[in-house]
Amino acid sequence: MKILLSLAIGYTSFLVGQTLVMATPAPVNSTINQIKKVSFNPPPAPASEPPPGGRVRGGAKRGLCPSVQPQLTALVPYTEDTPTVTNVWGLTTEAHPTLMFYMPYAHNVAYPTEFVLQDQESNSIYQTAIALPAKPGIIRISVPQNITLAVNKRYRWFLTVDCDPQKDSPPTYVEGVIKRVTLNKKVTEKLKTATPLQRFDIYLQNGIWHEALKTLSQLHQENPKDQEIKVQWQNLLTSIRLEDVASQPLLPSEP
């Protein structure tokens, strides 16, 4: 009788243990929940300088470009001061920075596309044709080595797509301002020994948009299955209200 009682108690304990294990659900998206949410708060444009102006979306009403979603988009922070005034601008620390855009058109349509960079006096200092990619996605355009951005100077950029071969109507375009600044010595020293994710965080904390975006995009492209980097990429673009392009493919090389 004692043996039977012992067996019964042991079996009951086993069932209780199994029930507890089965009743404890496996963590769902536990990794995602633990990821630090990143966001970019752009520093205000200096009051002593004229408003940057600009255009973050290409739109579908200009020229003969077909209606697409997402539209041609500059991956740059922007503010909408009034319904008709938009300011598009970002900081860089590089003499030859990289800008990024979502390009909704592919090379099969053969629309002439051009990137233009102007100095503060509106002189064109760099102008180049851009080959459309094999498929829609996020492209990179870098300022070449023979063009050096001066510190504390503003430069205006344009990316235009001309869908009207007869040029009877204006091209669709995006436009904004980029300004090169320097970081203090302490931050610069940290960057020298930081990992790529740490560099991204440093740029983020110091309001340096173009290098923050470039660093994270490279990590995302090199580690497409890394859930943390993917979530941070989506959070970064969502924080500047460009969540509709966050899921678009990062194209492998500059056009």
CATH number of the domain bearing residue 240: 2.60.40.1220
Query: How many whole angstroms separate alpha carbon 137 and alpha carbon 175?
Result: 18
- For 78, the domain range is 42-245
Q: What's the whole-number mean pLDDT along residues 130-148?
A: 96
214 falls within a domain: yes
More confident residue, 253 or 190: 190
Residue 29 lies in a domain: no
Task: Judge whether 138 lies within some domain.
Answer: yes
For the stretch 26-55, pLDDT in tens is 444 444 445 567 888 887 777 788 899 999
Kindly report the number of other CB atoms within 10 A of residue 100's CB atom: 21
Q: What pTM does this model have?
A: 0.83
State which amino acid sits at residue 62: R
Q: Taking the CB of residue 23, how many other CB atoms lie within 10 A of it?
A: 7
Whether 26 is covered by a domain: the verdict is no
HSE-up (13 A, CA, CB side) for residue 236: 26
Has residue 188 been placed in a domain? yes
The tokens 């740029």 sit on which residue? 203
Number of domains observed in the structure of the chain: 1
Confidence band of 211 (pLDDT split at 50, 70, 90): very high
Question: Is residue 82 over pLDDT 90?
Answer: no
- Give the mean pLDDT of the chain: 85
In a domain, 68, yes or no: yes
Residue 126 lies in a domain: yes
**Measuring CA to CA, which residue among 175, 212, 202 is closest to residue 94?**
212
